[in-house]
Amino acid sequence: MTKHDTWVKLKPGNPYEPIIDLFPFGMIPMRDPFPLEKIAADADDQQIALWIIDLERLKSYQAVAIAQFIALLRNADPLEVTQEAMAKGGFAMRHDWIDSMQCGPEGIQRQKELADFFETAPQPPSARAYQEFYNSQHERWIEGDEVPPPINTIEDVDPRLRTPELEQHFKMSQVESAIGQGNYSVLDVLTGRAFTDALNIIDPENSYSLVGYDDFDDDEFDDDEIYK
């Protein structure tokens, strides 16, 4: 099984708020990049979509806290909750508590496959089509060792999945990587030299350079204009 790379943040007012501080930045590791594992019925016999919290990526204290918390909500035994989670590969969570999601190459690839499914399946997709898609996903990504294609730039992401936030993330990653490889001093960073060099690396179509007072003619502006 490959290591999954999906993380979610929950909406305000979710039941997990009493223990959310146990998760850095409030990010909870998920096994799937969308609610796919199981459709359950609630007390009103309504279908609800469930995500699966990735048990393998939880710290031991996080897993214990979740098991105890779910047991308290269900009036159940924490051991039984833990055993059920181990059988499913993680703890189930309702889809309507998810506020936002971040993921890596696996999550992006699986979202692409989901988009492909909705574009190619008969509309509306039948229960059989959904089941076949689910079986393929589970066999390849949950039980199997499917390896997603690497994603190094925004160009490696399917255009249907690109967002301004994702593009900004890749730009910042390039800047951080360029600065990290430059062996710059603190002064280089503070004066902007490191950032200028990084811009020239990630945006070769333009030329960036530091500009000092000596680069301007005295006739361009006077001292009074500088400080207005």
- Write the pLDDT tens digit of every residue in 91-138: 988 888 999 999 999 999 999 999 999 999 888 888 889 889 989 998
User: Residues 137-146: what's their mean pLDDT?
Assistant: 89
Contacts of 154 (CB under 8 A, 6+ apart): 162, 166, 167, 170
- The pLDDT, as a whole number, for residue 127 is 85
Whole-prediction pTM: 0.71
- Write the pLDDT tens digit of every residue in 192-201: 777 677 677 6
- The pLDDT, as a whole number, for residue 34 is 86
pLDDT class of 225 with cuts at 50, 70, 90: very low
Check if the beta carbon of residue 39 is closer than 8 Å to that of residue 50: yes
C-alpha dihedral (48, 54, 60, 63), degrees to nearest 10 = 0
